[in-house]
Structure 1
Amino acid sequence: MKHQDFDWWPAPAKLNLMLKIVGRRQDGYHLLQTVFRFIDFSDQLGFKLRHDGIIRRLSGNESIVESDDLIIRAAQLLQRAAGCAKGVDIALVKNIPMGGGLGGGSSDAATVLVALNHLWGADYPIDKLVSLGLELGADVPVFIQGKAAWAEGVGEELTPIQLPDAWYVVLVPDCHVSTAEVFRDPQLTRNAPRTTIRDFLAGRQGNDCLPVVLKHYRQVKEAFDWLALFASAQLTGTGGCVFAAFESEIAARHVFMQVPEQFQAFVAQGLDYSPLMQLLSSKQNIGASPSG
């Protein structure tokens, strides 16, 4: 249940429409090529400012120790960087499944940075927030920049990309896929040939993590095999959610209505611009409006 006196901000989910692993850095991080797209399916974060410097989580993520929670770490990171004396109470309504490859934790952290940067009056430029976000995770920057993107490096080298309209059926298997385990698997492809945006838009997509995830997670394989009966099924990130694209909401909902009871599922529209940044823009415009 939402706290009515809080200021609420969205933390949208993402899909990886393609994921290639093209190398490895000296520090062990894998070098990627991927495409991030937002969907209109979000967590919600509420903020209530404090004037005593205390940062508290009031609800959400109860299974995570507060000191380990990315939303708390993000708030503390910005508070230290900005030298801010203000604090905040944070409430989280969690809709994005954990361990599903939809970027929920990274998106939550990005929303904390973007919202508190505005609410605390730190007014850091986006580039500064991106550098802070990268300290929390490789996927955080794309949620801060707020545009669908072609990504390279460990996922932080972002090039905005315009994608065709699409609706997605997303299946949520009843399992938590460990990204660390997937990247440790000796059978994971780590030297895929590099591709290009043009090749991706021409249909060369796929996910190098798919064979490893299907091998180790029966529930993901069952979801993938079922969805593949209707369209080109794909894995997002390291999983475990699988998805397929459709040209219309009607087509997507026709498949959604047939999803077996063993799977959670939802339909979402693809977005090239994040609802988080839309909200920030509207708040900035209101703040800049002349009074009277």
Structure 2
Amino acid sequence: MMRNYKSPAKINLFLKIVDKRSDGYHDIQSIFQLIDLHDEISINLRKDRQINLNSNKKKIIKDNLIFTAIKKFLEYTKLKRIGMDIFLNKNIPIGSGLGGGSSNAAIILLAMNKIYNSNLRASQLKTIANSIGSDVTFFLHGKNAWVEGTGNVITPIYLKPAWFILIHGKHKVSTSKIFSRYRINGHSKNFSYDDYLNNNTRNDLEDVVFELYPSIYQSYKNLSKYGKARMSGSGGTVFLPLSSYNEARKVISRLPKTDNPLIVKSLIT
């Protein structure tokens, strides 16, 4: 029997880099908003113990976080490997700041928990997720959230329905590269929820990305003519929040077609 899963993308409504930790990682503040752009994962069990991954994007198969998630799950549970054929239909652009790889890993953990009937508690799955990557825990929860720590401190929040115009950069932006170039001037002041409500937030990594990738900055400027545009994560997707689909259609009709803008809506969780 084929098992099918949706693996959603997120956008960062803001991103504050609070501090650099002694382990090299960064403490952050952010709001993660789930959107209706998603990858599709299909799993078919095999009679042997071989695990195969295929995808419409062949370049991402090697060293994929899906393999990491399966490995970490089996190490934690000490269960015998079940063979499976996995197909990843990739719709979320790679290196776009939308969390596609982390989302895939989280969905695989949830799938493994059901396939193996292991009945791991949420806290146990979170332990595995934290060992894979910073954003995996958020996607494991599957709810819009205020996010702190390295991305592992999740507080679900309600967000009003919204529409977004996304413009994906033409570059695969490396998260580690962007963070390595970002410099914190002392201990950065935390944002409050009131700061978010009053639109007094920003993405601290924008300046680094825009300097490295002028085309992403140009797309940001194109969107900024119609509202307060933002960049998601460490790039290279920029977005503009809007209150209705019709408003989004009007704005998109005025944008350069070479930007390939996309309209998505928020997911209410």
Question: Same-fold call, TM > 0.5?
Answer: yes
1:175 to 154, 171, 176: 171
2:10 to 3, 9, 14: 14
Paired position in structure 2 for 1:213 = 209
Question: Residues 214 and 118 from structure 1, CA distance in 2 versus in 1: closer, same or farther, beyond 3 angstroms?
Answer: same
CA contact (8 A) 1:52 1:85 kept: no
Give the whole-Å Cα distance in 1 for the aligned partners of 2:267 and 2:60: 29
User: Aligned ranges for residues 228-239 of structure 1 at < 5 Å?
Assistant: 228-239=224-235
Give the whole-Å Cα distance in 2 for the aligned partners of 1:6 and 1:49: 8
1:75 to 66, 70, 73: 70
Question: Residues 153 and 122 from structure 1, CA distance in 2 versus in 1: closer, same or farther, beyond 3 angstroms?
Answer: same
| Structure 1 gap segments, 5+ residues each | 274-292
CA contact (8 A) 1:13 1:107 kept: yes
The aligned amino acid for 1:72 is F
1:61 Cα deviation after fit? 4.3
Report the TM-score when normalising by structure 2: 0.94
Question: Residues 240 and 188 from structure 1, CA distance in 2 versus in 1: closer, same or farther, beyond 3 angstroms?
Answer: farther
Give the whole-Å Cα distance in 1 for the aligned partners of 2:220 and 2:48: 49
Paired position in structure 1 for 2:139 = 143
CA contact (8 A) 2:135 2:152 kept: yes
Give the whole-Å Cα distance in 1 for the aligned partners of 2:144 and 2:182: 31
Give the whole-Å Cα distance in 1 for the aligned partners of 2:220 and 2:186: 23
Paired position in structure 1 for 2:219 = 223
Give the whole-Å Cα distance in 2 for the aligned partners of 1:189 and 1:262: 37
Deviates more, 1:227-236 or 1:254-263: 254-263
The aligned amino acid for 1:78 is F
| Structure 2 gap segments, 5+ residues each | none
1:247 to 240, 243, 260: 243
Give the whole-Å Cα distance in 2 for the aligned partners of 1:238 and 1:190: 21
Question: Residues 12 and 65 from structure 1, CA distance in 2 versus in 1: closer, same or farther, beyond 3 angstroms?
Answer: closer
Percentage of pairs with the same residue:
34
Three-state SS of the structure 2 residue aligned to 1:262 is helix
1:139 Cα deviation after fit? 0.4
1:120 Cα deviation after fit? 2.3
1:50 to 11, 30, 46: 46
The aligned amino acid for 2:53 is R
CA contact (8 A) 1:56 1:72 kept: no
